[in-house]
C-alpha cells in the first residue's frame, strides 16, 4: 500500500481516533462507570459497550457488507474498567486486521444497511465520526463528573 493513498490516510485517521478514545478510557476513574450526567442519559459503561459493539458492526458493513457487532460471551455488567479496555483492545485488533484488506478500489463500492446504501468511503467517515463523537461524549461526562465531585467537597 502506498503511504500517500486514500486508504492509508483513512487507516491513519482511524488509528488516531482509536488511540484517542482509548486514552480517555485509560484515564477514567473506576467509579465513573455507572455515572450519568442525567438519569435520561447513558452511563459511561453503556457508552463503552456501545462503542465496542458498533465499531465492529460498522467495520463489518464496510468490509463484508453484513451487520454484526461484537457479542459479549458473558454479562459484562460487572467488568472492571481494565476488563472493558481489554475487550476494546481485542475488538480494535480485529478491526485493524479487517481494514488491512481494504483497497483503493473498494472506496466507491456500495454497502447496504437496511434500505440505505452508502459507498465504503462514506462508511469510513461514519466509522471515524462515531468513534470521535463518543470520545467527546466521554470527555464531557468526565468534566461534569469532576465538577460534581469538587462541588461535593
Q: In this structure, is residue 1 part of a structural domain?
A: no
Residue the block writes with cell 457487532? 69
**What are 19's three cell numbers?**
488511540
Output the pLDDT for position 66. Answer: 75
Give me the half-sphere count of Cα atoms (radius 13 Å) on the Cβ side of residue 41: 12
Query: Strand pairing partners for 110?
Result: 119
Backbone angles phi, psi at 113, to 5 degrees: -135, 115
Q: Domain range for residue 12? A: 6-151
Output the pLDDT for position 64. Answer: 82
The CATH number linked to 101 is 1.20.120.450
Among 2-6, 71-75, 81-85, name the one with the lowest average pLDDT. 71-75
Among 45-54, 66-75, 128-137, name the one with the lowest average pLDDT. 66-75
Q: In this structure, is residue 42 part of a structural domain?
A: yes
What whole-number distance in Å separates Cα of residue 128 and Cα of residue 113? 17
How many domains is the chain built from? 1
Helices (runs of H) and strands (runs of E) counted in the chain? 4, 2
Could you give the C-alpha distances from 128 to 61, 124, 132, in angstroms and in order?
Answer: 14, 6, 6
What mean pLDDT is reported for the chain?
Answer: 89
Q: In this structure, is residue 34 part of a structural domain?
A: yes
Q: What is the DSSP secondary structure assignment for residue 112, as one 8-state letter?
A: E
Q: Does 144 score more than 80 pLDDT?
A: yes
Q: In this structure, is residue 68 part of a structural domain?
A: yes
Confidence of residue 63 (pLDDT cuts 50, 70, 90): confident
Outline where the chain has alpha helix (H).
6-26, 44-64, 81-99, 120-151
Q: Quick one: average pLDDT of 101-115?
A: 89
Q: Quick one: average pLDDT of 106-126?
A: 90
Q: In this structure, is residue 80 part of a structural domain?
A: yes
pTM of the model: 0.88
Q: In this structure, is residue 140 part of a structural domain?
A: yes
Output the pLDDT for position 69. Answer: 65
Amino acid at each position: 500500500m502506498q503511504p500517500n493513498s486514500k486508504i492509508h490516510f483513512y487507516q491513519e485517521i482511524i488509528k488516531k481516533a482509536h488511540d484517542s478514545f482509548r486514552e480517555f478510557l485509560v484515564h477514567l476513574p473506576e467509579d465513573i462507570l455507572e455515572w450519568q450526567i442525567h438519569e435520561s442519559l447513558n452511563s459511561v459503561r453503556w457508552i463503552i459497550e456501545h462503542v465496542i459493539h458498533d465499531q465492529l458492526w460498522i467495520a463489518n458493513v464496510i468490509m463484508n457488507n453484513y451487520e454484526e457487532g461484537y457479542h459479549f460471551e458473558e454479562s459484562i455488567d460487572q467488568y472492571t474498567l481494565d476488563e472493558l479496555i481489554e475487550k476494546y483492545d481485542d475488538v480494535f485488533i480485529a478491526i485493524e486486521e479487517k481494514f488491512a484488506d481494504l483497497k483503493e478500489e473498494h472506496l466507491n463500492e456500495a454497502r447496504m444497511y437496511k434500505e440505505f446504501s452508502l459507498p465504503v468511503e462514506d462508511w469510513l467517515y461514519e466509522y471515524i465520526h462515531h468513534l470521535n463523537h463518543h470520545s467527546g461524549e466521554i470527555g464531557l461526562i468526565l468534566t461534569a463528573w469532576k465538577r460534581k465531585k469538587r462541588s461535593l467537597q
